Chains A and B, each alone.
Chain A
Amino acid sequence: MEPSNLALFWAAVIAVAILVYAVLDGFDLGVGMLFGTTRYAAQRATMMDAIAPYWDGNETWLVVIGASLYAAFPDVYAILLAALYVPVLLMLLGLIFRGIAFEFRFRSEGMRRFWESGFCVGSFVVAFVQGAAIGAILKGIPVVDGQFAGGAWDWLHPLSILTGLGLVLAYALLGAGWLMLKTEGEVREWAAVRLPWLVAAVLLVAGLSLVVALNDSAFTQHSLQEKPWCYAFAAIAVIAVVGAAYTARRQRDRLPFALTAFALIAGLLSLGAMCWPYLVPEAITVANAAAPEASLEFLFYGAIVVLPVIAVYTVGVYRVFRGKIRPARD
């Protein structure tokens, strides 16, 4: 069965929203984690300033993903959220805690350290479970009668732990690139020194993940045999992150972030290409998960008005706050 044009439209909306989300929330989650690894209050304050105007808006895209999935592919929404019950719970708790910590950090002198570690831990948890979800989906999600047929902890296995760590490192790398882009002086140096090490760590964990996936996940095996060109995306991603490390050492400020973001997109696209046409590997395809045309069409009119406005708004916010921020002085 071939997916309809509207089903393809919605699959594309969700794919783009995931990519935009991963890059945008990725860098602020990454800065949130790096933030916890420096002891100097002034550096931490500068890092916070580097993400303050953006991080809340970045989460908008998460709701776009959830809402679009519910409306356009309700079966997949039901299956994935059931299979990822615990990761989704942890992600939401992480996001809430991170949000509180960010806003209250400035307001309570006494509990500042508590909120600061809360921000760091919250960012880590969110990044980890998002990455773990990738591993869980690749490993395979059992589906019976259109519903998830497994346990709440089935998602946790070596592959998902590796992919979880991989995304944590990838987001941290993106965060380091962002700090080079947005700050100067001490913090920029700090990030530039760590960036190549993060690249090495990402490559190591990504390589391990691939080995384990080829071993543990029958779906990954078949899929990569059938579509060996998926390796091409992965190769592009590897070249891009190596480039990020190289440009960071050459003291270029913008390229490390751009190349890391590019690598993340290429990596996610390689996963998407591997899974296509499935939304839940070997269980549900885009075509058979799509809601009736009447539903896809009804929300289509909303999407073509709202999504461009959100996109313009997002670009606008980044433009308003473009350029380097001044370093904090305390």
Chain B
Amino acid sequence: MVLDPVLLSRVQFAFVISFHIIFPAFTIGLAAWLATIEGMRLLTGKAVYRRVFDFWLRIFALSFGMGVVTGIVMAFQFGTNWGVLAQKSGSIQGPLLGYEAFTAFLLEATFFGVMLLGRDRVSPRQYFLACCMVSLGTMFSSFWIMANNSWMQVPVGHAIVDGVIIPASWLEITTGPVMRVRWPHMVLAAFLTSGMSVSAVGAWYLRRGVHLEEARVMLKWGLGLVAVLIPVQLAFGSLTGSYVVKHQPAKFAAMEARWKSQQPASEILFAIPDTQEEKNDLTVEVPKLGSFVASGNLTSREVGLEEFPPEDRPPVAIPFYCFRIMIGMGMLMLAISWGGLFLLWRGRLESSRWFLRAIVLAFPSGFIATLCGWFLAEVGRQPWVVYGLLRTRDAVTPSLTTNDVLLSLTCYFLAYAVFISFGVYYIFKLLRDGPTSEAKAIPNATASRPLAFADRADTATGSQARTTS
């Protein structure tokens, strides 16, 4: 493998987008979770819901802030490193991403502010409405990202004039069949990510014997949410697989590490793909299951990578492993949530310390599954950046040299190492301390400065408060 601007730009994009996506994915789920808890408080009037809400609101604000900062970087990446892509498909991707930015700003300027600052200024019902709107807004924000990416996966509703790709039907672009499957898949992934995190925090407190009342709410609701959603997610995952079979057969062959066409096809459970020799080592496979996974019967013929010219094949190892890790995480979430609910029903969950430990350890399962899903989708789409229309190697900014991208990649790496580790450290600190204090309106804080909410009111904004403490 040679270091060239194309490869380095791909690594850079993968790096900055991966560290961006974990925050929005977390906040989409947390927003829905906060709306649910606030709704429960409104219904039952129990004080514990308020404490749980205030606690997760701070985590939410911090994650939202991290998402905003890492998002500013994303607004420029398409132009700096993918100039030809920006030029050729900017009239489609630009407006979609523009809508995403607008949605986020609209949210920040309206209901997000009410949610962070308005508890004492609006009625409880209005406050609940604001929470629901924030949740809807985060989902809507992801709509534009998924519309943009789905169009890159399976371009629809466009025309090509003088070598430039222009929009022909916005309706088709934003609501095509692929979009209808992938957007719910992403939103569900975000819900599961947050559900597993909330459960894990609850389990952590129970193991430590602190914040018991709040921990029970987190555990019950978190596990319940995951238990209900995971089968739905598996269904949407399988629908997502169907679009790949239909529209991106090379990606499907790669994620199954199927080098030769087979009839009926077997399903590889584990293997080490060897790209040089075009074969797999240490293969564990089930006969006929591959046909079932791809086409829903036990007899169909499934295409292998051999049917595609080498220049049209995606890499195999990353899609193959990521697909399996994603499915594995899904199974883990299924086992944890259903097992946990069973123990809860039998009244044995709190005494099963080993199971609580398993829930704690499963904290990152949703994040891992989400990232693997994205790696699968993006690496599997190669060698195309816009599938079938524009190759990745032709999309890079032509003026870039290897040294330019090495420099920027190194800088982003260092900056993110500092930024993300501090952010994650503060989130960890908040989680460790637990729901100990109320979220208060903080002087000098506004909705566009959500990081300020991470701390207690008396330490958050400095001098005025500092002198009183």
Q: What is the interface of chain A, defined by CB distance below 8 A to chain B?
A: 42, 45-46, 48-49, 52-57, 59-60, 62-64, 66-72, 74-75, 77-83, 85-86, 88-89, 92-93, 95-97, 99-100, 103-107, 146-152, 291-292, 294-295, 298-299, 302-303, 305-306, 309-310, 312-313, 317, 321, 326, 328-330
Query: What does the 1/0 interface line of B166-192 toward A look like (CB < 8 Å)?
Result: 111010000000000000000000000
Contact partner of B449 (CB less than 8 A), chosen from A53, A86, A147, A328, is A53
A147 to B398, alpha carbons, bound, how many Å?
7
The total of Cβ contacts below 8 Å across the A-B interface reads 238
Most chain A beta-carbon neighbours within 10 Å: one of B94, B412, B452, B464: B94
Tell me whether A67 and B75 are in contact (CB under 8 A): yes
Closest to A58 in B: B448
8 more CB-based (< 8 A) A-B contacts, given A42-B463, A92-B76: A52-B452, A53-B444, A81-B80, A82-B400, A93-B415, A291-B94, A291-B95, A292-B166
What are some 30 contacts across the A-B interface (CB < 8 A)?
Answer: A45-B466, A48-B463, A52-B462, A54-B446, A56-B448, A60-B448, A63-B71, A63-B101, A63-B105, A66-B75, A67-B75, A70-B75, A72-B94, A78-B84, A78-B397, A85-B408, A86-B407, A103-B452, A106-B455, A148-B83, A149-B398, A299-B95, A299-B102, A302-B98, A302-B102, A306-B106, A309-B106, A310-B109, A328-B463, A330-B466
Q: With A and B bound together, what is the CA distance between A48 and B78 in angstroms?
A: 34
A99 surroundings in chain B (CB, below 8 A): 69, 451
Closest residue of chain B to A55 (Cβ to Cβ) is: B449
In angstroms, Cα B444 to Cα A63, docked, is: 23
Report the Cα distance A262→B172, complex, angstroms.
46
Contacts of B69 in A (CB 8 A): 95-96, 99
Tell me the B residues contacting A by CB distance below 8 Å. 65, 68-69, 71-73, 75-76, 78-80, 83-84, 86-87, 90-95, 97-99, 101-103, 105-106, 108-110, 113, 166-168, 170, 397-401, 403-404, 407-408, 411-412, 415, 418-419, 422, 426, 444-446, 448-449, 451-452, 454-455, 459-464, 466-467
The contact of A75 among B90, B108, B113, B426, by CB within 8 Å, is B90
A198 to chain B, nearest CB (A): 25
Pair B94/A80 contact, Cβ less than 8 Å: no
- A71 CB to closest chain B CB, in angstroms? 3
For A149, what are the chain B residues with a Cβ–Cβ distance below 8 Å? 398-399
Give the complex CA separation of A96 and B423 in angstroms: 12
Instruction: Give min CB distance, B336 to chain A, whole Å.
Output: 34
User: What are the residues of chain B within 8 A of A299 when measuring CB–CB?
Assistant: 94-95, 98-99, 102
Q: Known interface pairs A60-B105, A152-B404, A328-B467. Does A88 touch B76 (Cβ–Cβ under 8 Å)?
A: yes
A79–B401 alpha-carbon span in the complex (Å): 15
Determine the residue in chain B with the shortest Cβ distance to A299.
B95
Contact A292 B84 (CB under 8 A): no
Partner of B399 from A68, A150, A305 at Cβ < 8 Å: A150
Could you tell me if B87 and A147 are in contact, using CB atoms closer than 8 angstroms? yes
A146: B residues at CB distance < 8 A:
87
Report the bound CA distance from A89 to B12 in whole Å. 12
Which B residues touch A70, using CB under 8 A? 75, 78-79, 86, 90, 93-94, 97-98
Q: Residues of B contacting A53 with CB < 8 Å?
A: 444-446, 449
Please, which residue of chain B has its CB at the minimum distance from the CB of A311?
A: B109
> Assuming A74-B87, A302-B98, A329-B467, is B109 touching A82 (CB within 8 A)?
no
| Contact assessment for A104 and B90 in the assembled complex, using a CB-CB cutoff below 8 Å | no
Interface majority SS on A: helix, strand, loop or mixed?
Answer: helix
CB distance from A7 to the nearest CB of B (A): 12
Chain B residue nearest in CB terms to A149: B399
**Residues of A contacting B78 in the complex (Cβ-Cβ under 8 angstroms):** 70, 77
Chain A residues within an 8 Å CB radius of B426: 107
When the two chains form their complex, are residues A330 and B166 in contact, meaning their CB atoms are under 8 A apart? Answer: no
Complex contacts, A79 vs chain B, CB 8 Å: 83
Contact of B80 among A89, A103, A326, A328 (CB under 8 A): A89
Cα distance, A104 to B429, chains bound together (Å): 14
Verify B446–A56 contact, CB threshold 8 A: yes
Nearest residue, chain B, Cβ from A100: B419
Partner of A80, one of B79, B108, B463: B79
Enumerate the 6 nearest inter-chain pairs by beta-carbon distance, A residue then B residue, closest first. Answer: A74-B90, A81-B79, A328-B463, A57-B448, A71-B94, A313-B109
User: Which B residues are CB-close (under 8 A) to A48?
Assistant: 462-463
Contacts of A52 in B (CB 8 A): 444-445, 449, 452, 461-462
Docked pose: A317 CA to B110 CA in angstroms: 12
Q: Are A95 and B72 in contact, CB atoms less than 8 angstroms apart?
A: yes
What is the chain B residue whose CB lies nearest that of A80? B79
Which A residues are in CB contact (< 8 Å) with B415?
93, 96-97
Taking A74-B90, A75-B90 as contacts, is the C-beta distance between A330 and B102 under 8 angstroms? no
A77 lies within 8 A of B110 (CB): no
Q: Of all chain A residues, which has the CB nearest B454?
A: A103
Taking the closest CB of chain A, its distance from the CB of B415, in whole angstroms, is 5
**A295 in contact with B463 given A70-B86, A74-B87, A92-B76 (CB within 8 Å):** no
- Report chain B residues within 8 Å CB of A152: 399-401, 403-404
Tell me the complex Cα distance, A46–B409, Å. 37
CB contact under 8 A between A71 and B95, given known A151-B399, A294-B167: yes
Kindly report which residue of chain B lies nearest to residue A89, judged by CB atoms: B408
Q: Is the CB of B97 within 8 A of A67?
A: yes
Contact between chains at A82 and B79 (CB < 8 Å) = yes
